[in-house]
A and B are shown apart, each in its own frame.
Chain A
Amino acid sequence: MLRSNVALTIIVSLLPLASLIFLGMEALGTDWGALFTDETWRDSLFITLYVVGISTFLSLVIGTWLARVVVQKRWRFTSAILRIPMFVPHIAAAYLFWLLFSGGGIGWVEANERNYMTVILTYIWKETPFVFLMMLGTYEQLNRGYVEMAKTLQLSRFDQFKHAEFPFLIKPLLDSTWILIAFVSFAYEIPALLGVTYPKLLGVLAYERLSTGLYLEATEPYAVALIWTCLVGMGVLVSYILTSSIRRRIERGVRR
């Protein structure tokens, strides 16, 4: 069985590489200078960074906080309720928020507005349960001894969290962060329904460029996808290398 495991591992790890090669081949012939100065792509990149940044950050904070509270207070019911959004498809979530916030909206939260608030809200609603589940396991296994010790040492609440909890959260937080960033930055349904004509998020713009006649021969969407994949890949690599020593220390500590 071991051999087939190895084979499976090789295939799975070769897939991203193959997709990179594919993107690279399709991106051949792109006028890179024109791409970097193209205002449409640039504005799309900025608005994507903004949406990805806010929705990922807030999902992480809220999801982690919820996991913490649920474990501490043993709220079984809340824990079950919180999973529900996970089972709603993204397209249905987008439509739900469109129904809620189109035609007037609530305050400055309105569908199809340039501030992309409804898109961010939909992502938070969809991704918070994911973060919650990722963190729930961590919190359930968390060694309460460290927190007790921090309390005994009379650390402030913030310092208690910082020294007795946060180090154990680094790994699942990093995992969740990159999954969310990779997913949200190039997703289609939600920004397609709730977004605006200009600027569009990267995924929507890329799809539009690929599927309309005018750009049938376009290489730019592939080039953009290639650049973005490399950026995310580098981010993953750097962030894991930077935290490797602390993660290793924690893992040993937990196992002891």
Chain B
Amino acid sequence: MKTWKLLFALMMLTFVAACSNDQPVEFSDSFETAVETAEGTTVNMYMWGGDEGINDYIDDYVAPRVNEEYGVELNRVAMDTAEFIRQLSLDQKADRQVGTIDVVWINGDNFRNAKQAGLLRGGLMERVPNATLLNETAQQTDAGTPTDNLELAWGNVQFILHYDAERIQNPPTTFEELRRWTEDNPGRFTYPEVNDFTGNAFVRHLLYERYGAQLTDDPTIDEAFWDDLKAWSPHLWKEGQTYPKTLEQLDQLYASGEVWMTMGFNERRAEAEVTKGIFPKETRALLLDHSIASTHFLAIPFNAPNPDGALVLIQELLSPDAQLVKQGPDYWGDGTSLDLTKLDEADRQAFKELGDGVTYPDTEQLRERSIPDYGPDVIDAVREEWPRVAK
């Protein structure tokens, strides 16, 4: 009888624990108090974990620094963005006011979804002192969605292709030429399927080639566009029978020499890969007609258990020092989200001295060909309609 009772009590306990809804943990009134309360706590940062350089930047550079400066333990959790947004939305449905996630790395359609569902905390600009240094244009909108102070810009990048110059002597210079190039070199090019962030962006570049900016107002895509894309697919890797599921898979194909081009957001992404000997030695940037500029952001969920710790971490991530190392070639190569004119002379100079890597595109050209991203509606439309290309 005793065991039976114990078991019953245990079950009830789990039940009660699962249903409890505590009050949410609020921010401290000022950043100074936040620093005090944050000391000795742990901050859980949830972020996409598919890139070694990015992971190392957080683990080897940022984590020791926040620990030293603020006594805050940083715990990086690798998870696909859509997945933790989903987890937050489940938390919300269950009225779980004290969750597990303190800081998220987010942008684009995921931000749109999180914003619509009310999953993020507002008022970040006033709470993080370094936010005043941010580039105001970058901070304003996230792929067409106004940020409304729900997230702070962390980095600023542009879309770029990379190719192996040892195998390709005369690289294409436009998307049209890329098409012809694949006809002469069948199977040597492909892009990730469109559920992948990068794959979707590649298709949006093709859309921009045909429609220009007009698609922003009216996201209807002609049948003919998809028919053309379908007609192109036999020239791609595996004759278009399948596409890499993720950018990592495409990078792997590129690293092994099976395909001769890869792509991605961040014009500096290949530098570290080449230095480490993962990408071919002769990897060079390939800038075509236009390149989508994209900003990525940091946000704090509605049920963050340690919001003050989150503020401290974001303050550190937006500091000129941390941004400088982030943009440098050692870890990540991610463009800064700060407005260089707002920095003091020494910091500004340090950014200028970072210089160019061999795999970087021409900075001037890159800026000239930069285009703003379409809104999330186009991302959705591509997701919905592209599958017929892969059939």
- Which residues of A are interface residues toward B (Cβ below 8 A)? 1, 3-4, 7-8, 11, 40, 102-103, 112-114, 192-193, 195-198, 208, 210-214, 216
Interface 1/0 per residue, B189-205 and A, CB below 8 Å: 00001010000000000
B241 lies within 8 A of A113 (CB): yes
Contacts of B315 in A (CB 8 A): none
Contacts of B379 in A (CB 8 A): 213
Task: Give the interface size bracket for B toward A.
Answer: 20 to 34
- Which residues of B are interface residues toward A (Cβ below 8 A)? 1, 3-4, 7-8, 11, 80, 82-83, 85-86, 89, 109-110, 112-113, 193, 195, 238, 241-243, 245, 256, 258, 376, 379-380, 383-384, 387, 390-391
**Shortest Cβ distance from A237 into chain B, in angstroms?**
28
Name the contact of B113 in the complex, choosing from A198, A208, A216 (C-beta under 8 A).
Answer: A216
B241 lies within 8 A of A114 (CB): yes
Name the contact of A212 in the complex, choosing from B4, B82, B238, B376 (C-beta under 8 A).
Answer: B82
With both beta carbons as reference points, the residue of chain B lying nearest to A5 in the complex is identified as B3
**Shortest Cβ distance from A116 into chain B, in angstroms?**
11
B242 lies within 8 A of A103 (CB): no
A198 lies within 8 A of B390 (CB): yes
Contacts of A211 in B (CB 8 A): 80, 82-83, 86
With both beta carbons as reference points, the residue of chain B lying nearest to A204 in the complex is identified as B245
With both beta carbons as reference points, the residue of chain A lying nearest to B110 in the complex is identified as A213
Bound Cα distance A198, B242 (Å): 7
B4 lies within 8 A of A3 (CB): yes
CB<8 Å pairs between A and B, sample of 26: A4-B7, A8-B7, A40-B387, A102-B258, A112-B241, A113-B241, A114-B241, A192-B245, A195-B242, A197-B193, A197-B242, A197-B245, A197-B390, A198-B242, A198-B390, A208-B195, A211-B86, A212-B195, A213-B85, A213-B110, A213-B113, A214-B109, A214-B383, A216-B82, A216-B86, A216-B89
Bound Cα distance A197, B244 (Å): 8
B383 lies within 8 A of A212 (CB): yes
**Shortest Cβ distance from B234 into chain A, in angstroms?**
14
